[in-house]
Amino acid sequence: MSGERPGAVWGPARRGLYARQMAAYRAAMRREMLAPGGAVFVAPLIALVAGTLSGPQPSDDAFITLRYARSLAAGEGFVFNPGERVLGTTTPLFALTLAALHLLTAVDFVWLAFWLALGAHIWVTGLMTRIGMRCELTLVACTAAVLYALAPIAFAPTAACMETALFVALTLSVLAPVVFSERLWWPHVAAALAILLRPEGVLVAAVHVARVARVSKRAALQAAGTVSAVILPWIAFAAWYFRNPVPQSLLVKWGGRWVFVRVAESLMNVVVALPLALPMARVETFELLPFGSTVAKELPGCFAVGTRRLAVLVIGAACVIVVAAGAVRMMRRNSSMRWLFLFVVVYAGAYGIARPAIFPWYLVPLLPALLLAFVSGCTAVIDRLVPSPVWAWRVSAGGAVCLIACAVMQYRALLHSFPDGREVGYRRAVQLLGAAAQDPTISIGALEIGAIGYYSHARIIDHFGLVTPDAVRLGTMATVNRYKPDYYIGQRLLFYMLGFYATPEFGEEYELTTRVPGSRPGAAQTFVYARRVPPHAADAATTAPKSAPMP
C-alpha cells in the first residue's frame, strides 16, 4: 500500500487493491500450511507436549488474579477481600475472563487459567513460525519457535497460570508482518485488549497506531478511536469502583525503584541467556554490583567471578551484534518486521526509564523477536563463513539441533523444579488452620498473599500493600497494631525482611504454632503464628498443631 494517497476515498481502484492484498495474504497462508514437512505445526506441537507434561503449576502471583476471579464469580464483587475495593491485579481482563468461563463451565479456576495460558503459548509459537516464513526463513522460524516453546523463562509463566502468554499472543497478532489494510478492524481491538491484559499494552497500542499512521492519518484516528472506545468503559468503571484505575500492585512495584543498571542487566540477561536456552539469572538482589556481575555469579564453572563477568560482557556484546544483524536481515526480507523490532526498542526503553523491580516474566514479550533475530543472525554469519550453500545449510541445521537439545535439557530441569515449595507450604498451612482459614471474620497476615488468599476465605492483610494500601505507609508494626490479624503465615526470610523479629511487640503478641516443612530437602519452612489471645477464640477457631508432616 505504499503508493496509496493518504485519506483517499474508497473507490473501485482501492477496493481492487484491497482484494489483491487479501488474495496475497491467503496465498501466503496456503504456502505456510504446505511448508515442507508441515513445519508450521512443529513448534506448536512441541509446546502442547511441554504443557501436557508439566500441567498447571500456579505461582503466588497467579493466585492473586484467581482469587479476584473467584470473588467475582461468587457474587462478592471484583475484590480480593469482600467489601474492600482495591485493584490488586494488573490483569483485570484475565480475571474477568476466568470468572465468566467458570460461571459457564464450573471448571476449576486453576485449570481454566492453565488452558488459556497454554493455548496462548501454542499460538505464539505458531505465530513465530509464520513470521519467520514471511521472511522466507523456514529453518530460522522453526528453530526460534521451538526454543521459545521450551525455554524456561518463556514456558514457566505459562505453567504458572499467568497472563503472560496471552499478552505475548496479542502483541504478535497486532504487530506481526502480515498484509495490512486500514479496513481491518480487529488489530485495533486486539491492541485495546492488550492494554486491559497488561499495562504494557499501552506500548503495543502506541506502536500499532504509529504503524497505521503510515497508511493514512484517517486510519490512525480510527485505530486510536477504536482503542479508546474499548478501554474507556473499563477506566470509567475502575475510577468509580476502585477510585483509581491504576492497579495498586503497579504502584507498589514502581515504588521500589531500581537503578538503571539493574534493568539494563536484566535486559542483557535475556539476550545472553535465551538464545542458549539458559535459565535467567536471579537479579532480585539487594546489593548493587558492577554491570554483568549478577549474571556471572549464576554461571557454572570454577573460574573467578571476575573472569566469568568478562565472559558475560564479551558474549553479551557478541549476542547483541548477532541480534542486530539478524534483525536487519529480516527487515530487508520483509519491511513490516520493523514494527515488531520497534516494539522491542520501545518496550526496553520504557522499562529503562520507569526502572521498576524486574521479574522474569516482564521480559517475555521481547523474546519472540529476539529469538527470531538471533537465529537469523547466526544463519547469516554461517552463510558468510561457509561458501558452499549446501554445507552452510547443514551447519545451520546442526547448530539448530544443538540449541534445541540445550532447550530440552533446560526444560527438563524446569520440570524437576515443580511444584514450587512456597505454594505447597502455604496451601498446607491453610489446611492446618482448618475452619479458621475459611471463616471470613478471621484475618490472616500473609507475607505472600496469593496461595494463602486463594485457598482460604479469610480476610488477608498484605504487608507489601498489593491489597492493603495502608500497610506501606504505616510500616510493619503499625499495620499489626491497626489490623491485629488472628494469624500470620510466611517464610522466615520474609519475616526478617519486613522487620517482624526486630520488634518485641510481635514476639509478645504472637506465638509460633506451626512449622510446615519444605516440599523437598533444604527448602524453606513455612511458619504460622497465632495471636496469644485471639479475638475469635470463643468462636471455636481451630487450633493448629505444633508440627506438620511433609506435604
pLDDT of 8 above 80: no
Of 381, 413, 445, the residue that ends a domain is: 413
pLDDT of 550 above 50: no
Greater confidence (276 vs 98) lies with: 98
Look over the chain and give the mean of its residue pLDDT values, rounded to a whole number: 84
How would residue 276 be classed by pLDDT, with cut points 50, 70 and 90?
Answer: low
Same domain, 437 and 345: no
DSSP state at residue 438: G
Lowest-pLDDT range of 2-11, 188-197, 202-211, 524-533: 2-11
- Residues 346-360 have pLDDT tens digits of 998 888 888 777 788
What does the pLDDT read at residue 279?
56
Same domain, 436 and 379: no
Same domain, 409 and 457: no
Q: Are 264 and 291 in contact (CB under 8 A)?
A: yes
SS (H, E, C) 64-101: HHHHHHHHHHCCCCCCCECCECCCCCCCHHHHHHHHHH
Residue 274 domain flag: yes
How would residue 277 be classed by pLDDT, with cut points 50, 70 and 90?
Answer: low
Read off the pLDDT of each residue in 498-521 and give the average, rounded to a whole number: 86
Residue 320 domain flag: yes
pLDDT of 16 above 90: no
Same domain, 473 and 351: no
- Residues 450-462 have pLDDT tens digits of 999 999 999 999 9
Q: What gap in Å lies between CA 291 and CA 310, rounded to an integer?
A: 10
Residue 37 domain flag: no
Residue 311 domain flag: yes
Residue 72 domain flag: no
DSSP state at residue 420: P
Greater confidence (364 vs 539) lies with: 364
Greater confidence (132 vs 34) lies with: 132
Same domain, 460 and 383: no
Same domain, 355 and 453: no
What CATH number is associated with residue 502? 3.40.190
Residue 117 domain flag: no
Residue 462 domain flag: yes
Same domain, 320 and 276: yes
pLDDT of 155 above 90: yes
Same domain, 427 and 526: yes
Residue-range definition of the domain harbouring residue 521: 421-539
Same domain, 308 and 393: yes
Read off the pLDDT of each residue in 351-373 and give the average, rounded to a whole number: 86
Same domain, 282 and 393: yes
Same domain, 331 and 294: yes
Of 353, 384, 413, the residue that ends a domain is: 413
pLDDT of 433 above 70: yes
pLDDT of 31 above 60: no
Residue 40 domain flag: no
- What is the reported pTM? 0.88
Q: What gap in Å lies between CA 309 and CA 146, rounded to an integer?
A: 29
Q: What gap in Å lies between CA 270 and CA 360, rounded to an integer?
A: 9
What does the pLDDT read at residue 256?
56
Lowest-pLDDT range of 42-56, 72-86, 96-110, 249-263: 249-263
Q: Are 18 and 38 in contact (CB under 8 A)?
A: no
Of 377, 396, 413, the residue that ends a domain is: 413
pLDDT of 310 above 90: no
- Residues 521-530 have pLDDT tens digits of 667 789 999 9
How would residue 12 be classed by pLDDT, with cut points 50, 70 and 90?
Answer: low
Greater confidence (14 vs 296) lies with: 296
Q: Where are the extended beta strands (E) located within 259-363? A: none
What does the pLDDT read at residue 262?
66
Same domain, 434 and 401: no
What angle separates helix 60-73 from helix 421-433, to the nearest 10 degrees?
A: 50
Q: What gap in Å lies between CA 208 and CA 230, rounded to an integer?
A: 15
- Residues 241-266 have pLDDT tens digits of 999 898 888 877 766 555 555 677 77
Domain count, the chain: 2
